[in-house]
Structure 1
Amino acid sequence: MRPFRRTRPSTPARRARTAAAALVALALAAGLGTQATASSVSPSPAAGAATVQQWEVAGLSTAAERTALSRTGTAIDEVRADSVVITASAADVRRLRALGYELSALPGTAATDIRPHAPSDYHTYAAAVAEINAVRAAHPSLVTTRVIGRSYQGRDIIAVKISDNAATDENEPEVLFTHNQHAREHLTVEMALRTLSVLTSGYGTNARITELLNTREVWLIPSVNPDGKVYDQESGSFRSWRKNRQPTPGSSSVGTDLNRNWAYRWGCCGGSSGSAGSETYRGPSAESATETRVVADFVRGRVIGGQQQITAHIDFHTYGELVLWPYGYTYNRTGPGLTADDAAAFEALGRQMAGTNGYTPQQSSDLYITDGSINDWLWANQGIFSYTFEMYPRSAGGGGFYPPGSVIARETARNDAAVLLLLEYADCVYRITGRQNTYC
């Protein structure tokens, strides 16, 4: 295959954050204490999860304040105007209250409360694989599948290719969609199946989809974290499990947060935890998680003739109804390898996609600092325009990580237009800001 040729700038430009915000962040971090941040997180049991539910943490209205909470090893589920929502065990609650945080339980969010939202509302891992195989059999010229590696527990991690000549590696821009990095986010697997259905059923009947599949190659990875998905879903009730299922050496804890394990600015900036019991545990080293390494190797394998063929990407998560873009490790709009022109293109396309689905568009760090994320790695390391979509619901009141099955069709269809928009700009994202003659 001849490589799909494109260029992007490499000279960084920086925009400094205000001194006041920086001082707030430093003061908050200092007030928590580095020793408490590193070691006081309660461990995750090896065989099962402690009883958890969602809690609202009051008095957090800025990114710096939310980042300070995150630095305690707490995973933030939802950002509100002056508070956040977290999932926590009783031990977590005691620890955070001891640090001075004000928490109140959200009713109806414990595992026993979400049982009516049955795990059977969502495809199991095996059922999703079966549906993918059925679509491939129905559309053999449009769909191929490839096992790109196996999870820690030995389950297949599958990449699905969709294009007019799917069996041929053509000289066309490629787009990647990833799903289910976090185990409990089952709606994202449904999103993968929706995209597969829309593209295959639309080819030959919908002129827009037909043209896109004639000129693009689409990759779907429906479940990056199949072990975690199975563990969270298939015991009869949901467990609110986030991480993978890989044991941590020297610890009784299980699991790494896959979206803190990528090999760019890993562990750099207080946006992940070094404690194995934390929900945002980054692992002992970058790409230490089996599943992260499998997907990273797949992406690196799409470099042909020295050129990365994947040009654009969405990583689907739940929840919050957000469209996010890099960088997550810094509050600055620009940074090394992310120029003002890059940032403008990210923002313009992000806002247009959000205009189709009603999500809120923003830079990832506007929420709070994260490091070792897939978006930052794909852009900085591979030059791929990478977004995160946080899907339905907007708040815990809509079901949090476990909305009822009755909303699946509506909420996956809600992203159809955004998916097609990303595909249309995959040949040159800089077209959206009129800079295509400079970069494409």
Structure 2
Amino acid sequence: MEAPELVETPEDLSAALEELAHAKVLTVDTEFFWERTYDPLLCLVQVAARDPQGKLTGFAIDPLAVDIDPLLRFLAEPTRLKVFHAARIDLEILNRMLGATLAPVYDTQRAAALLGFGHQVGYARLVEELVGKKPEKGEQYSDWSKRPLRDAQIDYALADVIPLMKCYEALEGLLARSGRRAWLDEEQAPLTDPASYAPIPDRERYLKVKGSRALDRTSLAVLRELAAWREDNARGRDIRPGFVLKDPALLALARKQPTTKQGLEAVRGLHSSLVRRNGDALLEAIQRGLDADPPASLRTKRPTVDVSAGVDLLKTYLSQRSRELDVAQEVLATSSELEALARRVAEGRDLDDCPLARGWRRELVGDEALRLLRGEVSLAVGKGGKAIVLIERAAGR
């Protein structure tokens, strides 16, 4: 039995998996809908592979119509490489449904970043550059939860995985020729680390509330309880936390710490209907926060050492090296990573968790960046004035 492109029955799914069974490399994408629900609603899973004759075959599998547990078990087999573009959100969804972490995986966006395509290159541009065909964008903002799916949606969905195989094959060739394949292994390691997908504990959700850094410790303790309550309430109702209570209202409650329902209603963003439903729970959360030991302050301490000059040096050096390596500067290091490195060097602290101090980054730019910060080398304009060069500092100077 030959499976149709759109898989909606257990029989069609079995047939599709049988057609894909020989494949050691699969391209995978998902379509989901995420407006009000607590978690994204998975609406489609697309999988493609080359058949034994080398022809590309793809299927769009409808998880709203058929149990996809057989597909998840198929994808979980460690002998199959799963290729994604911008893999993180797809993996979060699939891993949560599987209850395990998919491996091995390959992210074409991360691969492209090591080959001069820029930081976080989009799929359409990558396909255009490597395959020579620009994908259609007509269904980019479709509501994938509505049924029946239209032919145009199915065509769009399959165009996300069939050209992706050609991108993967081209990128693998480029990585091999450039000697950068080992770099990608390092870049992709977090994608198969279960710790990368560990949910934030409810009692740490307050750290993600915008504006929390401005609060004093007592207000932070209250915010911690309120944010944990909001998360639990949202999960139970299957809605996004912001639909329970928005961040500004949480912050106002944490600051004002009302003790009555009348006090709750006086807080902007708390409607009377919400207070009627959840007033007691909110007051209890506020009281728990006031009774608890407060967490450490989130207010940024004034730096003891000014590292701005060192950061400027590093940015100049990395700008030059990124051009020489044809790798986006943000891939080598972000501004915050440069500041963290400069500060740790200035304060004599451990560098182990600084990206520039390990792996391929250290070999190509990190060691010289550290020498710059330590004053062992300096920057100068090279001959012709078009390049920055490193000059050894004379001993004793």
Same-fold call, TM cutoff 0.5: no
Of structures 1 and 2, the one with the larger relative CO (CA 8 A, separation 6+) is 1
- What is the TM-score normalised by the length of structure 2? 0.25
TM-score normalised over the length of structure 1: 0.23
Higher percent of residues as helix: 2
Normalized per residue, the structure richer in strand is: 1
